[in-house]
Amino acid sequence: MNNMFKTAMLMAAFVAFLGVIGALIGGRNGLMLALLFAGGMNLFAYWNSDQMVLRMYNAQEVDARSAPEFYGMVAELAQRAGLPMPRVYVIHEEQPNAFATGRDPEHAAVAATTGIMRMLDYRELRGVMAHELAHVRHRDTLISTISATMAGAVSALANFAMFFGGRDENGRPVNPLAGILLAILAPLAASLIQMAISRAREFEADRGGAEISGDPLALAGALQKIEYYAQGIAMPTAQAHPETAQMMIINPLAGLDVGELFRTHPHTEERIARLHAMARGVG
């Protein structure tokens, strides 16, 4: 299943969710309004979701003058990957983490926290940025940014249904219990779609990043460090916008996963084991 098809299916799933919520809030009229809203959100997400996520994290763009070593690292890796030079951002957060965004390789951006830049050595950070560029090369970034935007929209509408209630086809108020269930189950279902896609993407980005950098063990070492330290350092923006957690190289809400279905990322131990196996194969 190629990523363009995945993106189309993801958009369709979220449109269906929003349609169901709209119907429960306002019957047939609510359904039509929700579908119009979903169409507008899809268009907005396609063109603007990357900038919206970067603004959420107050990411600051850097260049060869303001961050020569980091910028030069990304430039070297982008050249190795055969990619256009992405925009490069720094996020002033203590938690070690990184992500990539953008609707296609020609409009891509990569971002890393100041925490990860301090914590990792040059080789490990290079492995992380190669992982993020693998997301760009695989065109995962469109999927992740659209899913984050649409999941946020589902949650907003579901909360609206709970607090303001809904009406059936005859204008009668719906059961308030239904509104409460909707507020719980709709974001949950949206999250399940996000998470299933996210876990598969991370394995592929690990493999692709190791190929770009030519150093699987560097990424393995980085993942081990990030996993250990991220659990003890909060990322307030991610806590305020949990729908963006699946974009990060390691779950910024570590420790909050409940069961395998709700994991935004594969187990770090399995990711590290695969990278070690890849290194042995290369060696």
The domain segmentation of the chain, as residue ranges, is: 3-282
Rounded (5°) CA angle 252-52-228: 10
pLDDT at 246: 81
Tokens of 136: 């760009």
Q: Is the CB of residue 243 less than 8 Å from the CB of residue 152?
A: yes
Check if 270 is active-site.
Answer: no
Other beta carbons less than 10 A from residue 254's beta carbon: 23
The yes-or-no verdict on residue 250 having pLDDT over 80 is yes
What pLDDT does 156 receive? 64
98: phi then psi, degrees, rounded to nearest 5: -160, 155
Angle subtended at Cα 275 by Cα 270 and Cα 276, rounded to the nearest 5 degrees: 95
Beta-bridge partners for 90: 60, 112
Which of 64-78, 128-142, 268-282 is most confident?
A: 64-78
246 vs 45 pLDDT, higher one? 246
Closest CA to 51 of 96, 102, 87, 17: 102
Q: Do residues 194 and 147 make contact, with C-beta atoms less than 8 angstroms apart?
A: yes
Number of H helices, E strands in the chain: 9, 4
- The region of weakest confidence among 31-40, 45-54, 169-178, 185-194 is 169-178
Instruction: Indicate the pLDDT class of residue 245, thresholds 50, 70 and 90.
Output: confident
190 vs 106, residue with greater confidence: 106
Residue in the structure block whose two tokens are 């509104």: 179
Residue 241's alpha-carbon distances to 56, 159, 223, 245, in angstroms, are 8, 15, 23, 8
Has residue 177 got a pLDDT over 80?
Answer: no
pLDDT digits (tens, 9 = 90+) for 81-114: 999 999 999 999 999 999 999 888 999 999 999 9
Decide which of 207 and 8 is more confident.
Answer: 207
pLDDT of residue 182: 61
Query: Cβ distance 96 to 116 under 8 Å?
Result: yes
* Whole-number CA gyration radius for the chain: 20
pLDDT category of residue 168 using cuts at 50, 70 and 90 = low
d(C-alpha 165, C-alpha 150), whole Å: 21
Mean local confidence (pLDDT), 2-23: 65
How far is CA 92 from each of CA 18, 109, 117, rounded to the nearest angstrom? 34, 16, 10
Average pLDDT, the chain: 80
| 266 C-beta neighbours (distance < 10 Å), count | 17
Q: What is the pLDDT of residue 114?
A: 97
How confident is the model over 106-162, as pLDDT tens digits?
999 999 999 999 999 999 999 999 999 999 998 887 776 666 666 666 666 666 665
What average pLDDT does the segment 20-49 reach?
A: 66
* More confident call, 246 vs 130: 130
- pTM equals 0.75
CA separation for the pair 270, 186 (Å, rounded): 30
Residue of 93, 106, 124, 132 marked active site: 132
Average pLDDT over residues 192-205: 72
Contact 134, 204 (CB under 8 A): yes
What is the structure's pLDDT at 283? 46
Residue found by looking up tokens 């260049």 in the block: 63
